Amino acid sequence: MKIIMLGAPGAGKGTQAKMIAEKYGVPHISTGDIFRANIKNGTELGMEAKKYMDQGLLVPDELTVKILLDRVSNEDCKNGYVLDGFPRTIPQAEVLENALNDINDKIDYAIDVDVPDENIVNRMGGRRACPGCGATYHVEFIPPKAEGICDTCGKELILRDDDKPETVKNRLEVYHKQTQPLIEFYQKKEILRTVDGTAGMEDVFAAITAILG
């Protein structure tokens, strides 16, 4: 079962990807994680990617897909995997599709966790992070025991720049321009499934497992 997770930043697709991976016993693969692992282990692909990253450039799609295919060729991926954060654009999706075709493989489902922009701005604006231990909270959904204070280490919680409304709106704009076209792309391939991401976390997960069976 090979799955791609789609959805705007803050839609909760990363959380759902982890839950799917746990339930179905397949790895949750984020491109950020595999880049870091390759760089840390000093692999040839990792060193190639690092050249671009050190210059603040995006890693080319072909190289990203090479690193991804290298990861999914591991034994733990034999029953499938959940891709989170890739592809982000139509060209990336095409490079991935062609590379999988070459090894007689394909993606089974693209799951879109659909949440309106307004909900995302409110949801992310309520996030709080601990600068000390890195714990995360939400003023409405996962509040700390004492308002504004980390349960774990007692430091004062902060609103990260990433979660400020103006930043979130910019990220959503980029998403609509670059990533949203993937919804139509996978719809045409007849593998797109959409779930209502405004429901509770467990309800969203139940909708996804009903699709996956």
User: How do residues 72-126 score in pLDDT, each as one tens digit?
Assistant: 999 999 999 999 989 989 999 999 999 999 989 999 999 999 999 999 998 889 9
171 is catalytic: yes
**Residue located via tokens 């231990």:** 133
What's the CA gap between 138 and 155, in Å, rounded?
15
β pairing state of 2-6 and 109-114: parallel
What's the CA gap between 15 and 5, in Å, rounded?
10
List 155, 160, 164, 193, catalytic entry: 160
**Residue located via tokens 């390759």:** 38
pLDDT at position 162 is: 85
pLDDT at position 85 is: 87
What's the CA gap between 33 and 157, in Å, rounded?
26
- pLDDT tops 90 at residue 32: no
List 2, 71, 123, 127, catalytic entry: 127
If we measure between CA atoms, which residue out of 194, 10, 196, 202 comes closest to residue 110?
A: 194
88 is catalytic: yes
- pLDDT tops 90 at residue 31: no
- Prediction pTM value: 0.84
List 2, 71, 88, 123, catalytic entry: 88
pLDDT at position 56 is: 85
Judged by DSSP in three states, 30 sits in: strand
- pLDDT tops 90 at residue 4: yes
List 13, 66, 71, 128, catalytic entry: 13
Please state, rounded to an integer, the average pLDDT across all residues of the chain: 93
193 is catalytic: no
On whether the 2-27+74-114+167-212 domain is CATH 3.40.30.10, my answer is no
128 is catalytic: no
Q: What mean pLDDT do residues 128-150 have?
A: 93
The pair of three-digit structure tokens given for residue 208, joined into one six-digit string: 């996804």
Query: pLDDT tens across 176-193, in order?
Result: 998 999 999 999 999 999
Angstrom distances, CA of residue 170 to CA of 92, 116, 125: 21, 15, 14
Domain borders along the chain are: 2-27+74-114+167-212
List 18, 50, 171, 193, catalytic entry: 171
Question: Of all helices (H) and strands (E), which one includes residue 112?
Answer: strand 109-114
C-alpha gyration radius of the chain: 18
pLDDT at position 190 is: 97
Angstrom distances, CA of residue 203 to CA of 9, 200, 207, 213: 19, 5, 6, 15
71 is catalytic: no
The proportion of the chain whose per-residue pLDDT surpasses 90, expressed as a percent, equals 84
The proportion of the chain whose per-residue pLDDT surpasses 70, expressed as a percent, equals 100
Query: pLDDT tens across 6-18, in order?
Result: 999 889 999 999 9
Split at pLDDT 50, 70, 90, the class of 57 is confident
Contacts within 8 Å (CB) and 24+ apart, 67-73: 67/31, 67/34, 67/35, 67/38, 68/29, 68/31, 68/34, 68/96, 69/99, 69/100, 69/103, 70/38, 70/43, 70/45, 71/29, 71/34, 72/29
Q: What mean pLDDT do residues 151-165 have?
A: 93
The pair of three-digit structure tokens given for residue 140, joined into one six-digit string: 């409405």
